[in-house]
Structure 1
Amino acid sequence: MDMHLPASTSIDEIADGIYRIFTPVGPEVVPGGFSFNQYLIADDRPLLYHTGPRKLFPQVSEAIERVLPVSSLAYIGFSHVEADECGALNEFLDAAPCAVPLCSPVAAMVSINDIALRPARALAEGEVLDLGRHKLRLLATPHLPHGWECAMAFEETTRTLLCGDLFTQPGSSHAPLVESDILEPSETFRQQMDYFAHSPDTRLHLSRLSALQPTTLACMHGSAWRGNGAALLMQLADRVSPN
């Protein structure tokens, strides 16, 4: 994927103090088009969730600067170890001298404490990180949708679930926040090239996320979504783990 192609990166507030950073990728790069999202939590201890691929660092960092200095970031968080999740991790750690990686204990153990410029802050299961007005809780979700080290984060104040690759929507034109259906387009995309691990615990993990009763889903690809997140997560469970 040639990420040197021009892209227009935008930033929009999708919940109180939580911003979606959006970069579209045209069909000349990915058939049908695609998009990459990062989420910035602006607070006393700012957090960036997902870094985007390394080659998008200039655009993503410029978008952050419209809200706060990149150098003020305290945490660089992500769900699992992939280029779009943490490809620009070291670039951001270099630009933000006090920032540390934020991830699951497994991600820290098997990858991040070796490849990152600084050791990770590994959040234990259910541990809540105080960012100021926002409180971030980590939930380990191994193999949901893929990766032993996978985890997701729930911002308790706004009830926003940073749900990574769940509900990935194809295309390169997406509103920042929608209340329309995202399950059908994401399932159509998944069925073309299934990226779920389909582990025996898939339904269990989706049920745990549903129990949080999120009202905003911060998807990594496509629009963020607002509505009855608990019901939508269980609808997804019925599709990917029917038994």
Structure 2
Amino acid sequence: MTEVLQRWSSLFNGNALVYRYLQGELLDDAQLKVVEELADLWRQRLGDLSWFMRVLNEAVAREANAEDQCTGRFWEGRFKSQALLDEQALFACMAYVDLNPVRAKMAATPETSDHTSIKQRIDHLRQTSNQYREPSQPHALFPFVGSPRQPMPQGLPFKLADYLELLDWTGRSLYKDKRCVIDSRTPQMLTRLNIAAPNWLHSTQHFEDLFKTWAGTTTSIKAACRRMGYLRLPSVGMALAR
């Protein structure tokens, strides 16, 4: 209970009784009951993703509104939480996020798109490629560790070079109105994931619309339903093909 109270008080204004409790003061039974009830409530909120997003939204909105001299919510709608059930869903989601600035015409290429993990990976690659025999990866991001093997190091089970090729091909293929040569060859990663190119393009362009609670192949979604005891299978018409 003490740890919960300390964590909450480090983020928010605490309670007078909680402050006295943390200072080691003796409280009567009624006061201790209030402290315990607050600890139960704060424990629930500290583990609640919706509460975290609410607090994050408020802090960002206050700062943004002060800069823009306006009022209102920073994000128009609520966040969506989707479970990525397999590697196919993971990489489709990664590509969807990394290509957001290109899709919004805020950047011409992934390597020039600010505030994306792919730009951070490429910038780090450029900075270290001449310093080491084998370029390193940024410590703040989950690394690409290559094809599955034993023992398997912790990281994404593909090569960074394959993901860069995949992202470049996806970005050029999604936007038909741009003058570019679309490579007709399917990238190596798509072949290994066993995803049809048209299905992949549709998924990375409309990821949030296609997937609601779960994202993955039909096999992964059915397996998740069995584990969760669901009697009805959600729509799998837009699941990633396998």
TM-score by length of 2: 0.29
Structure in which a larger fraction of residues adopt strand: 1
Q: Which has the larger radius of gyration?
A: 2
